């Protein structure tokens, strides 16, 4: 029985490991292009959660400086169970989904990391 459960878990997690990266906190990120990636829905669903994960991935996994701009490329509103797509390119940028002074359609990696303190 244990062997069957282990085999089932291994099969279920193998596609995830092959196509996704994990952030320092263990959140899943799926690269989708040279300057873009997706944060899939994994239980936490607020805009700050998605931006935190995007910031961690950009800073610690991609090694981008804190001043680098991140753009949300998936449209608002996000439906329940959907992830959010991000890019370091302004092409296809959408509103951030955050209350940002001065508006705009991007925030810096450093600003995205600040969202982690509010989780």
For residue 93, the SS3 value is coil
Band (40; pLDDT cuts 50, 70, 90):
very high
pLDDT of residue 118: 64
CA torsion sign for 84, 52, 25, 60 is positive
Average pLDDT over residues 5-23: 49
Average pLDDT over residues 54-61: 94
pLDDT of residue 79: 83
Other beta carbons within 10 Å of 61: 15
Residues 17-40 as b or e (16 or more Cβ within 10 Å = b)? eeeeeebeeebbbeeeeeebbbbb
DSSP state of 116: G
Average pLDDT over residues 15-32: 71
**Predicted model pTM:** 0.78
């Amino acid at each position: 029985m244990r062997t069957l459960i282990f085999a089932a878990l291994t099969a279920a997690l193998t596609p995830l490991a092959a196509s996704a990266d994990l952030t320092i906190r263990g959140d899943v990120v799926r690269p989708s292009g040279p300057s873009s990636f997706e944060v899939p829905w994994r239980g936490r669903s607020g805009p700050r959660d998605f931006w935190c994960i995007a910031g961690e991935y950009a800073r610690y996994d991609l090694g981008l400086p804190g001043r680098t701009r991140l753009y949300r490329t998936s449209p608002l509103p996000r439906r329940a169970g959907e992830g959010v797509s991000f890019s370091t390119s302004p092409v296809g940028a959408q509103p951030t989904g955050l209350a940002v002074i001065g508006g705009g359609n991007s925030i810096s990696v450093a600003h995205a990391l600040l969202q982690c303190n509010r989780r």
